[in-house]
Structure 1
Amino acid sequence: MSAIPDSATGSSSQAQSTPLELYASYPFATDETYQQGLASLIAGGALDGDPPPDIKDEILRRTRVFYFNRVTGNSILMDEARDYELSHRESNDTGAGVISQPMDESTPDETRVLTFAELQELIETGKVDQIPNNKIIPEAINDATPSESKTPARKKPWEVETVEMAE
């Protein structure tokens, strides 16, 4: 399990924060364990069939609530998280149903892992040039001549010399 940030554990400096506030400020976008789990769910087909945006938001919310409860030991409910997110949605510029995460402005040049909702929005709006590490692969075939093999071909089983055992 990854290290839990102080803002999500309810440490003494955050004692006045409610579990929902901690959930809203939890760094899901930078939590590598959460991102790996989300990637495996997506690869497993959790979002296949192009569900409507509200269904996608609900699926992603379920993953966040489950992970948050598991990591922090809190027990917020799905309905509480949904109501809290919807009441704070106006502050989110993307409208993707995810509470916006504050960017670490000390390292603006460093690429960060995008959430699924952020990646989806960039693709849908045609801003694929803003996707980090997105390489454009040309559709042409490589025109260079292929290299020649420098190692001898492996012998077939019937070509291998058998070593007779000395008696």
Structure 2
Amino acid sequence: MSTQTEPQQNSKAEALHLYGSYPFDTDETYQQGLASILGGGKLDPNSPEDLKEEMVRRTRVFYFNRITGSTITMDEAREYELSLLSSTSQSTKGVVEPNEEDRVLTFAELKELIETGNVDKIPNNKIIPERLNDAPPSESTATARKKPWETVVAAEP
């Protein structure tokens, strides 16, 4: 009996490892779905942070199971994430966490920042001055293209 549960445990552990390393932040299909869920009013922006985390975890588990054919549960995903957090917090004491500006915003977050006028909080948002460039224009080094009648004349003789 233990030989049957060992492969199941190994495949479950492998699925959880894949889940933990899956690039949800860069998967455009997932990000679009998440943005539609968050932007569709399914989650109140004033909700507690743990409720938001649970909603995101639920979407990740559903999406991951859908595209990989796995059957991990919410509880397994939560336990796996907590084990990752506890192991990384013990092994990375004193290590600086990535900057908040380094993460990619979802469309809903970007829309919210623009609507509320907090464009200064948008990562990599450059402020372009409202004046013309003072530098002199560059000189072209390319030769001028021949006109159509100039190329026909050259080809006739």
TM-score, structure 1 length as denominator?
0.48
Residue number among 35, 46, 52 corresponding to 1:50 in the alignment? 46
- The 1-side partners of 2:24 and 2:76 are apart by 18
Residue number among 38, 59, 64 corresponding to 2:60 in the alignment? 64
Which residue number corresponds to residue 73 of structure 2? 77
Which residue number corresponds to residue 104 of structure 2? 114
One-letter identity of the residue aligned with 1:18: E
Count of paired positions: 99
Residues 44-73 of structure 1, C-alpha deviation per residue, up to 9 Å, x if partnerless?
A: 012214111111110000000000000000
Q: Relative to 1, partners in 2 of residues 1:20 and 1:115: Cα closer, same or farther, differing over 3 Å?
A: farther
1:85-100 mapped onto 2 (5 Å cutoff) = 85-90=81-86
When the two chains are superposed, the root-mean-square deviation of aligned CA atoms in Å is 3.6
Residues 35-94 of structure 1, C-alpha deviation per residue, up to 9 Å, x if partnerless?
A: 01011111101221411111111000000000000000001000000011011113567x
Over 2 Å off, 4+ runs: 90-93, 134-137
1:130-145 mapped onto 2 (5 Å cutoff) = 131-132=123-124, 134=125
Counterpart contact for 2:12–2:72, Cα < 8 Å:
no
Residues 104-153 of structure 1, C-alpha deviation per residue, up to 9 Å, x if partnerless?
A: xxxxxxxx87266xx7xxx9xx9x55624x4669xxxx9xxxxxxxxxxx
- Percentage identity across paired residues of the two chains: 55
Q: Relative to 1, partners in 2 of residues 1:37 and 1:18: Cα closer, same or farther, differing over 3 Å?
A: same
Which residue number corresponds to residue 101 of structure 1? none
Residues 12-37 of structure 1, C-alpha deviation per residue, up to 9 Å, x if partnerless?
A: xxx89610000000010110100010
- The 1-side partners of 2:56 and 2:62 are apart by 10
Gaps of 5+ in 2: 1-10, 90-101, 131-157
Counterpart contact for 1:30–1:113, Cα < 8 Å:
no
User: Secondary structure in 1 aligned to 2:80?
Assistant: helix
TM-score, structure 2 length as denominator?
0.51
From the two aligned structures, give the one with the greater helix fraction: 2
